[in-house]
Chain A
Amino acid sequence: MTHASRDTIVSIILLLFCGFLIWAGYQIRDPQFGELPPAAWPRGVTWVLTVFCLIFFVQSLMADRARGSDAVADPAADRGPGLGGWFRYYYNPIVCLALYFAFLATLPYFGTLIGGALLVFALLSFLGGVTPRLIALHAVIAVVSVGVMWALFTFGLRVLLPRGELIPGI
């Protein structure tokens, strides 16, 4: 039996997304004025996207068939099998993104200066490793880099960066 390649799975997801967009395109209110209704352009683009996705789907299926039984679920990946292998392979980006989202979620509490410094420190320690020397180095890099950035935007560019409840002044 031929396994579906990654491209085929992606094309199916994209087609489902197109279906959703087509439905969403018909939910757009028509104000009944103007020659180009607000829904016309998004609907047109959605149909164009759907055609492209269909072509991609057919191409992927044909490529799968051409590969036959030798096809694997993801020929490009050089990672271990299963969900565990996938998670290990993308571990760094996943953790970095999680840290970034945590920074955004806690921004109202910590503010840009403290939150930013904590984020840089956390990223540096996660990616660079943790030894007493590195912790000290990362702390210095985090404080100096975010401090300079904060000062540059606050005083140089007059941007009122988000402040936190923890220390209301910064």
Chain B
Amino acid sequence: MIVENILTAVVELATVKTLLLMSVGAMAGLLAGSIPGFTIAMAIVLTLPFTFGMEAAQGIAVMIGVYVGGLSGGLMSGILIGIPGTPSSVATTFDGFPMARGGDPGYALGLGVWSSFFGGIIATVLLVLIAPQLAKVGLEFQPWDYFALIFFALTVTASLAGDNMIKGLISGALGLIIACVGEDDINGVERFAFGNDFLGEGFAFLPVLIGLFAFSQLMSDVRDTGKARQSLTDMGDVRVRIEHKRAIRTIVSDWINLVRSSLIGVFTGVLPAAGSAISNILAYDQAKKASPTPERFGTGHPGGIIAPEAANNATAGGALITMMALGIPGDIVTAVMIGALLIHDVVPSPAFISEQPTIAYAIFIAFFFANFLVLILQTGALRGFVLVTRVKMYVLASIILVYCGIGVFSLNNITNDMWTLAIFGVVGYVMRTLKFPLAPMILGVVLGPIAERWLSRSLALSTDVTEFVTHPWSLFFLIASLFSIGFSWYQKDRGRKVWTLWYAPLLMLALTVPLFMMGGTVRPVLAGILILWAGWMLVHLPKNTRALTSRETPS
């Protein structure tokens, strides 16, 4: 069955047209990734309008091309000028830039390009192996469980909030309100429309998304005239030949670092809201700690390039696992992809892989293809990318602003969407200025209607709200939600406050309740392991508390 699905997906994608479109997507991603200040999410958002006319699988394949390209593109400016194109390549600059400055730019780029490739391939293998297994669990879900799952995804907004959690939560709730405007899906009753036709139509997801993300970003980019008139990067006319053989030899000899970093990347990607911006630094840190020569890190050590680049590409695979197996976004990019699937009338849910095997396996294969395409493009068109990134910001911003308008119009062929774009461009810019994170708002817009639909279905089956705690999966996600809300505080206080020592064991113990309720063999055994683990942590709690307290109050 799996082989059959894979073959169907390969047939679907291995056409000249699709590969060409994916190449254009990968190239766009590479460009966006190599330009400091341009995010991968923005590149994907701008690609969306082109995908409306395509088949769902084809459209998603193009976006995956942009995603993988964007993750890989950040390394070019990071290595050549020391400014990472995206946050996912921050750690690459630590050793990539010194190596390039030390006279070995071709080797540094080779290490980056091939580590990205291998990281992506390892993640693809894990994606194909893990996602369908995880998705089988989703077939057990009932409406209560679905609602609790979406509720859990919404609580992730707290983790996406960054430094100011309350602003993130407000942003997420505002996203839910935006999604309420217009006719409701269930009864067709107008909400927050006030008799106005424009509001009565509701806000289409795409204009809101492009307005909030791309339009407002462009406004921020042109605020300072001086900066707007500068070139996007100051990379000179690069004439570097990537040293492939030497780089591959080094990576193969350092395969433990490669595999470890890829696994860190995949694991970080699976966790909601922990994206490649985190994974590349985590992998770099682990590589340094495991190295026999940690003092050489930061001076141009090959391991310092392999680790972050393998990790950031592998993160994409992890995020896709969460998206495909559970139907919830692991990061902002997968939130956009879920929105794109909705535009193609594909509703992501835990049953996604079993109900839409062609699209699901097309995503696996596209991710695999994309890594090859990016490798080829990076090798063949390095100089071209560098030349394009020398365009001035105001030129690019002016053109993209018009493109945004035309792009959103093509969604429904109505000019109202262009007005929505401009309005949410203003909203996004104001929010950026006031330091409100935009990612939670996007999640709110995407997940709000889905949550409401499942809540309605749950209540249609039974008005007894205790159903939410008597269904094991629902209880599981509600417990996870509770801890997810506190995760931001936990992250902030970890290693500094005593209460954080209770967080992990309590979470484990709480999760054992629904696991035991599920019955069978595997899950109670898993619950038993969690109890033992939590018990071990609790036994060591007094010792750890004393250590922490003595650190808090040094004599």
Contact = CB atoms under 8 A, between A and B. Distances in A.
Nearest to A50: B173
Interface string B42-63: 0000000010110000000000
A92 B229 contact: no
Nearest to B434: A10
- Give the residue among B402, B406, B459, B463 with the most A Cβ atoms within 10 A: B402
Chain A interface main SS type: helix
B223 interface: yes
Interface in B475-510: none
Interface in B197-248: 219-220, 222-225, 228-229
Contacts of A92: 222-225, 228
Contacts of B415: 104, 107, 162
B50 A42 contact: no
Contacts of B401: 96, 100, 119-120, 123
A96 to B, nearest CB: 6
B406 A149 contact: yes
A161 B406 contact: yes
A159 B460 contact: no
Contacts of B405: 100, 103-104, 116
A81 interface: no
A127 B225 contact: yes
B495 to A, nearest CB: 24
B222 A6 contact: no
A160 B413 contact: yes
Nearest to A48: B173
Contact of B452 (A6, A41, A145): A41
Interface string B388-429: 000010110111011101100110010100110010011001
Nearest to A93: B219
Contact of B166 (A59, A120, A159): A59
B: interface residue count bin: 35 or more
A12 interface: no
A97 interface: yes
Contact of B410 (A39, A42, A157): A157
Contacts of A36: 186, 452, 455-456, 459-460
Contacts of A149: 402-403, 406
B460 A45 contact: no
Contact of A45 (B180, B410, B418, B456): B180
B293 interface: no
A116 B400 CA distance: 11
Interface in B123-175: 166-167, 169-170, 173-174
A61 interface: no
Contacts, number: 162
Contact of A101 (B50, B410, B422): B422
A124 to B, nearest CB: 5
Given A48-B173, A52-B170, A56-B166, A120 B225 contact: no
Nearest to A56: B166
Contacts of B448: 45
B398 A146 contact: no
Contacts of B228: 92, 127-128
Interface in A117-166: 119-120, 123-124, 127-129, 141, 145-146, 149-150, 153, 157-162
Contacts of B180: 41-42, 45
Interface in A3-32: 6-7, 10, 14, 21, 24, 27-31
A42 B395 contact: no
A89 B222 CA distance: 11
A49 interface: yes
Contacts of B177: 21, 42, 45-46, 49
A28 to B, nearest CB: 5
B219 A96 contact: yes
B186 A24 contact: no
Contacts of A59: 166
Nearest to A38: B189
B24 to A, nearest CB: 11
B189 A28 contact: yes
B422 A35 contact: no
A34 interface: yes
B33 to A, nearest CB: 22
Contacts of A49: 170, 173-174, 176-177
B467 interface: no
Contacts of A104: 405, 415, 418-419, 422
B339 to A, nearest CB: 19
A87 interface: no
A93 B222 contact: yes
Contacts of A66: none
B399 A141 contact: yes
B289 interface: no
Contacts of B192: 21, 24, 28, 42
B392 A128 contact: yes
Interface in A54-86: 55-56, 59, 76
A56 B167 contact: yes
Contacts of A35: 456, 459-460, 463
B223 A93 contact: yes
B27 to A, nearest CB: 15
A25 to B, nearest CB: 8
Nearest to A162: B415
B190 interface: yes
A52 B419 CA distance: 29
Given A92-B228, A128-B392, A34 B422 contact: no
Nearest to B418: A104
Contacts of B222: 92-93, 96, 127
6 contacts: A34-B187, A34-B460, A36-B460, A93-B429, A103-B405, A160-B413
Interface of B: 50, 52-53, 166-167, 169-170, 173-174, 176-177, 180, 184, 186-187, 189-192, 194, 219-220, 222-225, 228-229, 392, 394-395, 397-399, 401-403, 405-406, 409-410, 413, 415, 418-419, 422, 425-426, 429, 434-435, 448, 452, 455-456, 459-460, 463
Closest 5 CB pairs of A and B: A123-B398, A127-B394, A35-B459, A49-B173, A38-B189
Given A28-B190, A128-B229, A162-B415, 6 more contacts: A41-B455, A49-B174, A103-B405, A123-B398, A127-B229, A145-B402
